[in-house]
Structure 1
Amino acid sequence: MRISDHIHSNEYPASYYAATCNDTAGFSALSGDETFDVCIIGGGFSGVATALHLSERGFKVCVVEQNKIGWGATGRNGGHIIGGYAYSMWENKSKIDSFGEAGTKALWDMSIECVDIIKNWVEKYNIDCDLEFGFIDVAMKKSELEWLKKSADTLADRNYPYETKILNKEELSDYVVSDQYIGGRTNDGWGQAHVLNLVLGEARAAEKLGATIYEHAEVSDIIHGARPRVVTKTGTITADFVVVTGNGYLGNLVPKLASRVLPAGSYIIATEPLSDEQIAATAPKGWPTCDQRWALDYFRVTNDKRLLFGGMATYSGRHPKNIKAVLEPKLHKVFPILKDVKIDYEWGGYMGIGLNRIPMLGRLSDNVYFATGYGGHGVAPTHMSAKLISEAIAGQAERYDIVASVKHMPFPGGRHLMQPAYAVGMAYYKLRDAIGW
């Protein structure tokens, strides 16, 4: 979907990630007709990771991206590497029971494996992306802290392989110094990365294994058949399999997905580099941090000592005219000590949200797969979805079938009414946040 507004152009946004990107060489342009084993639509984490998984298996693969690799949500997000799913199903017995014992175990294992994929690839392919581990969830009220305790117990009961700790307010000050929070939960198995450098590093790794990456190749049609064809303005690709990604930027290319994935706006600011004293007085360990509200704040300290802070989402299709003006007061509420710190970058983009906030995997036809709808929680789960699709294409569909069995209903009102309807629903939850309900 071609987008042109004040936060989108054909190039990268004016973000911290784009300004500190370590690979600016770009990739090929598609010209003419080509043939591959697999054609992947979309150059974000889902698409690039699928290309790398399949390239490791020896498939002849291409990626077609309408703008630049990592241009969408992949290169615009907060950089938090979080396992699991956007919807925490583990405390929901009826949801768990619906998958059966074997299915539940597989889903649990995959919720951990998704982070391990990133960790292993960064080491294997020597990807320079500031990968670090350590994460903290913070609570603003007693009920939230109780939920974090319950979730920590669930992790322990399921033999989660990484350390987690529940912190009271005094203990929390070793990690986050703010009057807004009363406690938290650490997780040594989650972390952070420079996400644009991560996806570019994965794309280069796939390229070295034989994959072809095409940029500025907008797809206008998918022609299904025994050997489906992907049509762009500058060429056509024929393949044995097609994989459709794109998340909140897929547009109307696939009507079935357009009515099930809501493009929701998300926005971030980045400060100038902080002094060691400022970091010690705000986020001493620099760990990525999220609160527990529906309309949550999240932040982390980058490798060059900037604070990245996000705390706004829009569901109406309209972007704020001035992102800094909206987010800076939120930053100052959490960290008043930073009220005189300069904001160097502001940017935003779309994430893709489904009704049940569980990633959507499936087939549009026997040889056309899709992966989308990560609900703002996609850096790690995209890598797992990519692995499942690569397994299915290679003839090992057992794990893929478990995730693909999850039903995803269209939004009420379809493509045209889902944004205003969802905006009304989220306004209700934002009100709950505001009154502490």
Structure 2
Amino acid sequence: MDLLFANDKAGTYPASYYAATRADLAPFPAPAGDLRADVCVVGGGFTGLSAALHLAQRGLDVVLLEAHRVGFGASGRNGGQVGTGQRQDQDWLERTLGRDHARQLWDLSLESVEMVRTLIRDHDMPCTFHDGIVHACFSQGEVDHARHYAEKMARDYGYDRITPLDSDALQAILPAPLYKGGDIDRGAGHVHPLNYAVGLARAAAKAGARLHENALVQRIDHGARPVVHTADARVTCDHVILACNGYLGGLDPHVAARVMPINNFVVATEPLGDRAAEVLRENVAVADTRFVVNYWRLSEDNRLLFGGGESYGYRFPDVVKTVRKPMLEVYPHLKDVRIDYAWGGTLAITMNRMPCFARVKPNVLSASGYSGHGVAMATLAGRLLAEAVAGQAERFDVMASVPMHRFPGGPAMRWPMLVLAMTWYSMRDRLGI
């Protein structure tokens, strides 16, 4: 079974709050016949659209192939959080990679967030960047760590936009007694992710990139001039960019061994009106410290958009049941609130939760596996991929030099082994370990 079609209808956006409030975007044509391009980009999410935009701005002839609609996958279904840093914190990066490499990765992360802000502004995209992400902690030990980390970031990195929150300060922003405190990062933010993808697609097309939808890539013939095949077209090019994330399938075994698709789920309540203040008292996004993270924010029309729960197979479970449980653990007073939308999506993780940048052939590049931290980093990945194609690979190599291990078990066993690991960590969450 193909993840591209296991839960979704071909060529359409899945039913979601984001799809229901999507800015207008006329379909792009399916490709046909023999096409020629400097670069063929496979995948029309944040990575692929950003790559297409930045390549076209450099004067390169770009063909982008998307199996469904642009923004169809995780790019159009996620929590919309635009976070600073990498998926691993600076302490981990310093221990694992050294202080210099950790600093480079931090600087790239700040660039990625600023990119999102700037692209929205410069291309008049149909979405708004809202400042602020709260990190909510379950234990006093986690609260103490958050305070020390904020101090470290100000002292060692000159980043003073993270403010520690004790219990009272946290409750003043989000009235949820489950949490003991945390921090707020005013340099981070949140967006309507599908409308951001729409904005990137409009910008890429305006810059001259040729975007094609309903263009499922069946195989790639590698060589000095790769040929990318769909059912009705052949794209001969000089370079290929794989921007498929959790939907890579069998297009490249090197990346597939290191990038695991998993499913995550979101619900949108009915508009809360004045009750929105019972959820959030500032227009910020929130993520907590569970291993299987709960994350939420308010929509433009004051719905609670709450994400939580994971699955590791093809078919999605009952999404309302899956997400309502953690939502009511955080906000038990919302038990009478109606759920108007519920959807799932497939993202991708890596063993160490760092994104997987790879040069899989001399003229084939890939970036994926953002592990739930992809809105900003995938946008930056597109720029770094464009730089590398143009012969300026230094910044791409900073990301690609992070060690990236294969998932154990091979294709047959990696999902069962992941389920066992995730079940263990979910049990630790429930027990508060």
TM-score by length of 2: 0.96
Residue equivalent to 1:346? 342
Unaligned runs of 5+ in 1: none
- State yes or no: 1:85 paired with 2:86: yes
Residue equivalent to 1:371? 367
Residue equivalent to 1:31? 32
Name the CA distance, whole Å, in 1 between partners of 2:284 and 2:95: 34
Name the CA distance, whole Å, in 1 between partners of 2:25 and 2:199: 11
Please state whether the residue corresponding to 1:426 is helix, strand or coil: helix
Please state whether the residue corresponding to 2:430 is helix, strand or coil: helix
Name the CA distance, whole Å, in 2 between partners of 1:45 and 1:68: 12
Residue equivalent to 2:284? 287
Name the CA distance, whole Å, in 2 between partners of 1:150 and 1:171: 17
Please state whether the residue corresponding to 2:262 is helix, strand or coil: strand
Residue equivalent to 1:126? 124
Aligned 8 A contact 1:86 1:375 in 2: yes
TM-score by length of 1: 0.95
Shift of 1:377: 1.2
Please state whether the residue corresponding to 2:392 is helix, strand or coil: coil
Aligned ranges for residues 286-365 of structure 1 at < 5 Å?
Answer: 286-320=283-317, 322-365=318-361
| Code of the aligned partner of 2:39 | V
Name the CA distance, whole Å, in 2 between partners of 1:15 and 1:370: 29
The structure where helix makes up a greater share of residues is: 2
Residue equivalent to 1:179? 177
Aligned 8 A contact 1:7 1:348 in 2: no
Shift of 1:256: 1.6
| Code of the aligned partner of 1:17 | Y
Residue equivalent to 1:46? 47
| Code of the aligned partner of 1:65 | E
Unaligned runs of 5+ in 2: none
Residue equivalent to 1:169? 167
1:215 to 209, 213, 216: 213
Name the CA distance, whole Å, in 1 between partners of 2:344 and 2:307: 9
Shift of 1:228: 1.1
Name the CA distance, whole Å, in 2 between partners of 1:89 and 1:347: 33
Please state whether the residue corresponding to 1:174 is helix, strand or coil: helix
Aligned 8 A contact 2:258 2:356 in 1: no
Q: How large is the Cα RMSD of the aligned pairs? A: 1.5
Residue equivalent to 2:134? 136
Task: Give the paired residue count.
Answer: 432
Name the CA distance, whole Å, in 2 between partners of 1:372 and 1:169: 37
| Code of the aligned partner of 1:359 | P
Name the CA distance, whole Å, in 1 between partners of 2:253 and 2:206: 35
Aligned 8 A contact 2:269 2:339 in 1: yes
Shift of 1:62: 1.5
Cα deviation code 1:304-357 (max 9, x no counterpart): 11110011012244421x211221132122112221111110000111111111
Please state whether the residue corresponding to 1:265 is helix, strand or coil: strand
Aligned ranges for residues 68-79 of structure 1 at < 5 Å?
Answer: 68-79=69-80
Name the CA distance, whole Å, in 1 between partners of 2:93 and 2:401: 18
Aligned 8 A contact 2:6 2:314 in 1: no
Name the CA distance, whole Å, in 2 between partners of 1:360 and 1:261: 7
Please state whether the residue corresponding to 1:379 is helix, strand or coil: helix
Residue equivalent to 1:18? 19
Shift of 1:92: 4.9
Residue equivalent to 1:258? 256
Name the CA distance, whole Å, in 1 between partners of 2:405 and 2:376: 24
- State yes or no: 1:65 paired with 2:66: yes
| Code of the aligned partner of 1:118 | V
Please state whether the residue corresponding to 1:173 is helix, strand or coil: helix
Name the CA distance, whole Å, in 1 between partners of 2:120 and 2:283: 20
Shift of 1:88: 2.0
Aligned 8 A contact 1:91 1:151 in 2: no
Shift of 1:111: 1.3
Name the CA distance, whole Å, in 2 between partners of 1:5 and 1:61: 29
Instruction: Say if 1:91 and 1:353 are closer, same or farther in 2 by CA, change over 3 A.
Output: closer
Aligned 8 A contact 1:37 1:60 in 2: yes
